[in-house]
Each structure stands twice: as C-alpha cells, then as structure tokens.
Amino acid sequence: MIDKEDYKKGTTTVGIVCKDSIVLAADKRATLGSLIANKDVDKIFEVTPFIGMTFAGSAADGQALAKLMKAEMRLYHLNTGMDPSLTVAANLTGNVVLERAKSFIPYYVQLIVGGKDNGNKFGVFSLDMGGSIIQEKNFTATGSGSPMAFGVLEDNWREGMSSEEGIKLAYKAINSAIKRDIFSGEGVNVVVIDKGGYRKVEPEKVTAKSK
C-alpha cells in the first residue's frame, strides 16, 4: 500500500489579469510518482458564471473542492439574492481549506481563484493548502512547473493586455513548463472570464493564437 505522502503530483497552472478579463490556464497531465496516470485531466473549473478555479496537487481533492465551492456559491446566491463576487468566493474557499488544514485530512492543493470582482473589476487570488489567501496584482502560477511559468510571465506581462494577448501568454507560460517539468504535459487548457462570463477556449484556437 502506498502512503498518501508518496503520491508525487505535479502540474502547472497560471492566472493572468488582463484589461477587461482574466485568463486561467493549466496543463492536462496527472502523475503518480514517476508514472503518467492520465493525459487529459481538466484542472480548471467553473465555480460561478463569472468565477473559475484551478488546482495543482491532488486531483481528487481539487475536484471535490471545486464541486463543494460551486454548491456553496449557489447557496450564497439563494441566501442573499446576490451573485458572489470574486473576493467572497476566494475568502469562503480559504475558510473551507483552513478548516480542513486543522484536521487530519487537509486538502492537498494549491489553488488559483479568478474572475469578476466588485465594481466589474477582474482579478486573481492564490491559495495554499493552509488556507492563506493572496490577491495577486498581475499574475500568478502554481504547481511543480510554476518556476518556469513565472519566468515567462514576469518577462512578458504588461499593463492593459487584451484577452487575446493573455491567451497567448498563458499558452507560452504553460508550454515553457511542459518542456522543462516532467510532471506537466499533454497540452494546455485555457479559460477566459470577461463581461460575457466563463468560456473555455477551444484547443485548436489556443494553438492558433499562440503563433
């Protein structure tokens, strides 16, 4: 029997703040130790029509947490009659992760929560498995390939980027990690959240936009 600590997991996810949107991206590989467990894992989830979440770490924990937060956001809307803002979603997610961190079965994840906030502004938050919440001004990255992704983001991000430019940068950052991190691979998923809501960019369009 393999102890949970022996399940080495890796991935690369990024969140980019653009002029009137945010872009979330992730690779598709799931690993178990040095083995490739799955080549088509979606690591980006829709939490509300204007908020998305990425995870790095345990696929089971990430998927369970995304489903839980989607349900919590629906309850928030029913109880208040208002759509939850990004700040509300990030803080509630952080509280849920913190409570589990105090137990013997924490969520083994790093998260990016991004989308529309108060005043029709867009942003991203990064959260760790201890429940800490950091609002990122420009961009962020998580996972084993994040050092490579950060290098690309720091060199190429600029104020006032369009969604199209954000998609190209997200692809470039994830692809850089895929080339250098054994735990990241199998392609790139990209999601854009703007005033029209959450939408997944088709794979062929992601590749085309990167050229």
Q: Longest C-alpha distance within the chain, in Å?
A: 51
| CA–CA dist 114, 20 (Å, integer) | 13
Sheet holding 133-136, edge to edge: 44-48, 51-57, 109-116, 122-127, 133-136
| CA–CA dist 111, 177 (Å, integer) | 17
Place of tokens 């959450």: 198
| CA–CA dist 5, 115 (Å, integer) | 32
Whether 11 sits among the annotated catalytic residues: the reply is yes
Q: Which of 11, 31, 48, 140 is catalytic?
A: 11
| CA–CA dist 78, 146 (Å, integer) | 37
Q: Write out the catalytic residue numbers.
A: 11
